[in-house]
């Protein structure tokens, strides 16, 4: 069953464009058809122990997409703790909150926060990209 969500992407984009400052919108892979030139970030870009794909749309500046590394490591099966040679999947009622905190770089987060979070490495990449472009 697919969750029903209000369509806020277009109105948010319009509001941000009306303000006239640089902006970034984040969303999940399923939102790709509604996004304009989204950039894919993956945990493997940053050496994280999760793939956690997220899309980012930038406005009033140009966000570059890093080369997407090949997914060569197996992902943990849902409902099981991540093995040392696997990539974690942290959605729903996942197992291994401590592993998730370490793998995503979010030692302060609860399970609920982890399920929804954008890893700080993604935010740092976007911020550095903006500063380098603006500089």
Q: Residue 24: pLDDT above 80?
A: yes
Question: Looking at the chain, which runs of residues are DSSP E strands?
Answer: 23-27, 39-41, 54-59
pTM of the entire structure?
A: 0.90
How confident is the model over 32-64, as pLDDT tens digits?
999 999 999 999 999 999 999 999 999 999 999
Residue 128 domain-assigned?
A: yes
Domain extent for 55: 9-134
Question: Which residues face 57 on adjacent strands?
Answer: 25
Residue 99 lies in a domain: yes
Q: Provide the 3-class DSSP secondary structure of residue 24.
A: strand
The answer to whether residue 4 is domain-embedded is no
Q: Answer yes or no: is 1 within a domain.
A: no
On whether the CB atoms of residues 61 and 131 are closer than 8 A, the answer is: no
In tens, the pLDDT along 76-132 reads: 988 899 999 999 999 988 999 999 999 999 999 999 999 999 999 999 999 999 999
* Structural domain count, the chain: 1
Residue 90 falls in which region: left (phi positive, over 0), alpha (psi -120 to 50) or beta: beta
| pLDDT for the residue 106 | 97
């Amino acid at each position: 069953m697919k969750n029903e969500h209000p369509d806020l992407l277009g109105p948010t984009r319009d509001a941000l464009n009306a303000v006239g400052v640089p902006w970034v919108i984040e969303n999940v892979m399923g939102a790709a058809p509604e996004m304009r030139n989204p950039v894919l970030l993956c945990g493997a870009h940053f050496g994280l122990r999760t793939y956690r794909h997220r899309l980012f749309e930038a406005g009033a500046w140009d966000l570059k997409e890093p080369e997407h590394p090949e997914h060569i490591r197996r992902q943990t099966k849902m409902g099981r703790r991540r093995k040392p040679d696997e990539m974690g999947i942290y959605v729903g009622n996942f197992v291994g909150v401590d592993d998730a905190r370490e793998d995503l770089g979010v030692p302060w987060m609860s399970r609920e926060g982890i399920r929804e979070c954008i890893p700080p490495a993604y935010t740092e990449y976007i911020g550095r990209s903006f500063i380098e472009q603006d500089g």
